[in-house]
Amino acid sequence: MVETLLTESNAASHLEARGVHVWFGQRQVLQDVNLVFPSNQVTALIGPSGCGKSTFIRTLNRMHELIPGAGFAGQILLDGKDIYEDGTDAVDVRLRVGMVFQKPNPFPTMSIRENVLAGLRLTGKKNPNMDELVETSLRRASIWNEVKDRLNDPALSLSGGQQQRLCIARSLAMDPAVLLMDEPCSALDPGSTRRVEETIEELADQMTIVIVTHNMQQAQRVSHQTAFFLSEDGNPGGVVEFGTTEQVFNQPVDPRTNDYVNGHFG
Amino acid sequence: MTATQVQTSTMKPTNPWAKRNKARTRDVVIASLLPGILAVVFFFVGTALGATIDPAVLLIIGFLPAQLLAAFLVGRKYYGRHGREDALLIVVTIFLSTFVMVLLLSVLWSVISAGALALRPSFILQNSHYISGTTSLEYGGAGHAILGTVMAVAITTILTVPLGFGIAVYLTETGGKARGVIRTLIQAMSGLPSVVSGLFIYSILVLQGWQPSGFTGSLALLPLMLPTVSRVSEEALRLVPVDLRNGALALGSPTWQAFAKVVFPAARSGLLTAVLLGVARIVGETAPLVLTTTYNNDTNLNPFNGPMAMLPTFIFGYIRNMYDTSIQRGWGGCLVIMILVGVLFVGARVANRKKK
Ligand SMILES: Nc1ncnc2c1ncn2[C@@H]1O[C@H](COP(=O)(O)OP(=O)(O)O)[C@@H](O)[C@H]1O
Ligand SMILES: [Mg+2]
């Protein structure tokens, strides 16, 4: 799989969380999360701050275990295989499950072009068509036209919104089967937000996407299904409602979901 | 649209924030100058009348309180409560920073003025072969000691930097169990008197039959440089946002690659500072060298064989002689150390900026 990774497109993967419990030290922050992310679907995770959305999304590519004191129980099945199974390398998981962070984090010592190619360099992979890869990745992140004449400028010379799209391009260059996005637009202006949303729609053809968002309109615009997380009175967070976006927003089963999506709390 | 254009074209740019209140400006000037003028007048009149006035005492019990009072009054008059606090803080800040600057400049000045007498091309280019305490300054120099210092410091740096960076990486990048112990040890090490470090190498190497040489001196300097390098580089690595490392790891990067290609380059200028501070820490150390490299009036290009002159021991050797020329050679050595460090710092910074 690793050899063909960059020459042939990875097919989108089917991802599934089964009975996920998460702790930080002795404190449990997530309780029994069960979610299915079918291939080529966009899933939005919504819920008030502190209910464990970021924590959950980090368990999907094994970034969670980097936090000191992290604890985990349950299964994350990537195309049917548990990524926490004995003998599975976290590095291989992250090659297939890419991630975009809340705050844009381009590598400051690298140029725009080097940032796009950073994944290759960091993983020691070769691609015969570097220029082509740079262009396609930047195009897919809809930032190509803005940067095509300044590919060798430092990445930090871009605006915040451009930096975030560069980070998306950086993930796309690794051709992930699943893309995780943790509030990717929370630091962006409306124009950049719209372009990121367009990008998400286009990418769904090629990969499975999980996006955390605090913006209800955004969830409705980009996602096929929505999971509503809630943590009440300091109890561990969990999924209160999960279904198609249409259903969660328009006919929620749980009254708390109804209150949240209509802005009554959180 | 047209209306606005007509209107703006008749406007002139002004700086409303820069308006000066004349009375306020006057009072501030008076408050800044009056106490100083009064103190000077008091000093000269008092001296002329036959009193002995210590300028330092006058400065602290006369001028400073007067200056604080003047600033306090003007601050309160024009800006109220926060004004009087600001005014006091400004006076204290300026006073203390002037004090530090005066100290620093007077040290620099005494080294430069005294060292300049000895400094000449021969002082850099020649060694002290055939030179005695009374030989004229035209003959002989510190060239052998410059070479010795450069070589020994280079060896120490080559040995210490990988060790220091290694410790910093262990402390910041890993969850290693021994982190607490190592941090405590490094802290204790930074309090180690330098003469103890020299005695340590003396007793475990020189007394066991190793000849004193540039290399044994380098080893004696190592424990002094290590804590500086590892602590400053630990700080530099800690300043790299955790998001950068996570960004690399999320791309599927192995931990080591994420460190080498993302974290390390991002911390580069801080790590350079760590090395420079480490060099500055040891370049003037004398005590560890007296027993481990001893003295040499000749050029010794082999740091592994026999006593080697270094600038600190060169200085120490000459100032122990009570002859004027010999003390001047000592000052010359001090000036050379200062220039050496200055060149190193500026050179490293310029090289670092060019790479960026
Ligand atoms: N590194 C951490 N160490 C300890 N507790 C954490 C850490 N990160 C998050 N938490 C806790 O986990 C809970 C969920 O946080 P998070 O997943 O960031 O929420 P969300 O992304 O939904 O706002 C919060 O109560 C938070 O305090
Ligand atoms: Mg979050």
Query: In order of start, what are the domains of chain B with their CATH numbers?
Result: 22-115 (no CATH), 142-351 (1.10.3720.10)
| Atom 7 in ligand 1: residue holding the nearest Cα | A24
B7 Cα–ligand 2 center, Å? 50
Ligand nearest to the backbone CA of A33: 1
Q: Are B261 and A68 in contact (CB < 8 Å)?
A: no
Q: Which two tokens stand for residue B46?
A: 């008092």
Distance CA B151, CA A109 (A): 33
pLDDT tens string A12-40: 889 999 999 999 999 999 999 999 999 99
Distance from the Cα of A118 to chain B's closest Cα (Å) equals 8
Partners of residue B266 in chain A, C-beta under 8 Å: 107-109
Spacing, Cα A236 to ligand 1 middle (Å): 11
The amino acid that residue B71 corresponds to is A
Q: Does B266 touch chain A (CB under 8 A)?
A: yes
Does 3.40.50.300 match the CATH number of domain A15-261? yes
Using DSSP's 3-state secondary structure scheme, residue A208 falls into strand
**B255 exposed, middle or buried (CB, 10 Å; 0-12, 13-18, 19+)?**
middle
pTM: 0.79
**Poorest-pLDDT segment among A189-203, A226-240, B129-143:** B129-143
If we measure between CA atoms, which residue out of A195, A172, A196, A176 comes closest to residue A184? A196
Cβ-based contacts of A62 with chain B (< 8 Å): none
- The residue of chain B with its CA nearest to that of A176 is B251
Q: What residue owns the CA closest to ligand 1's atom 17?
A: A52
8 A C-beta contact, residue B187 and residue B253: no
Q: Looking at chain A, which residue has its C-alpha nearest residue B259?
A: A122
Report yes or no: B113 and B328 within 8 Å, Cβ to Cβ.
no
Q: Which ligand is nearest to the CA of A49?
A: 1
Residue of B243, B253, B268 to mutate, interface with A, max A Cβ within 10 Å: B253
Ligand 1 pocket by Cβ (under 6 Å): A 24, 29, 47, 49-55, 67
| Atom 21, ligand 1: residue with shortest CA distance | A54
The share of chain A scoring above pLDDT 90, in percent, equals: 80
Report CB contact under 8 Å: A66, B246. Answer: yes
**Which among A66, A109, A123 is the nearest to B252, CB-wise?**
A123
What integer pLDDT is reported at residue B355 of this predicted model?
Answer: 61
| Pick from A200, A230, A171, A222: nearest CA to A47 | A230
CA distance linking residue A229 with residue A50, whole number of Å: 10
- Note whether B338 contacts A: Cβ–Cβ < 8 A: no
Q: Which of A58, A101, A109, A168 is the best substitution to test chain B (most B C-beta atoms within 10 A)?
A: A109
Q: What is the pLDDT along chain B (356 residues), one digit of tens a residue?
A: 445 555 556 788 888 887 778 888 899 899 999 999 999 999 999 999 988 888 889 988 999 999 999 999 999 988 888 888 889 999 999 999 999 999 999 999 999 999 998 889 988 888 888 888 788 888 888 999 999 999 999 999 999 999 999 999 999 988 889 999 999 999 999 999 999 999 999 999 999 999 999 999 999 999 999 999 999 999 999 999 999 999 999 999 999 999 999 999 999 999 999 999 999 999 999 999 999 998 999 999 999 999 999 999 999 999 888 888 899 999 999 999 999 999 999 988 888 886 65
Mean pLDDT of A86-115: 94
What is the structure's pLDDT at A2? 37
Residue ID of nearest Cα to ligand 1 atom 24: A50
| Nearest ligand 1 atom, CA A56 | 17
Tokens of B297: 């009036």
Q: Which residues of A touch B249 (CB under 8 A)?
A: 63, 66, 94
In this predicted structure, what is the pLDDT of residue A8?
45
A241 beta partners: A228
Structure-block tokens of residue B106: 């007077």
**Does the structure show a pLDDT above 60 at A77?**
yes
Q: Is A92 on the interface with B (CB under 8 A)?
A: yes
Which member of B244, B249, B257 has the closest CB to residue A94?
B249
Q: Give the residue from B172, B243, B244, B251 with the most A CB atoms within 10 Å of its CB, the best one to mutate.
A: B251
Q: Which residues of A touch B253 (CB under 8 A)?
A: 91, 94, 119, 122-123
Closest C-alpha to B39, from B10, B19, B60: B60
Which of B64, B62, B86, B65 lies closest to B74 in space, CA to CA? Answer: B86
Tokens matching residue B337: 């150390």
Residue B266 and residue A156 in contact, taking contact as beta carbons nearer than 8 Å? no
The shortest C-alpha distance from B267 to chain A (Å) reads: 10
Tell me, yes or no, if A103 comes closer than 8 A to chain B by beta carbon: yes
Per-residue pLDDT at B93: 94
Question: Interface pTM (ipTM) of the complex?
Answer: 0.88
Of A24, A31, A64, A213, the residue with max ligand 1 atoms within 8 A of its CB, to mutate for a pocket test, comes to: A24
pLDDT of A243 over the 90 cut: yes
CB contact under 8 A, B250 and A61: yes
State both tokens at A112: 């725009």
Rounded-to-integer distance, Cα B46 and Cα B43, Å: 5
Contacts of A171 in chain B (CB under 8 A): 250-251
- Cα angle for residues B259, A60, A251 (degrees, 5° grid): 145
Q: What is the pLDDT of residue B156?
A: 97
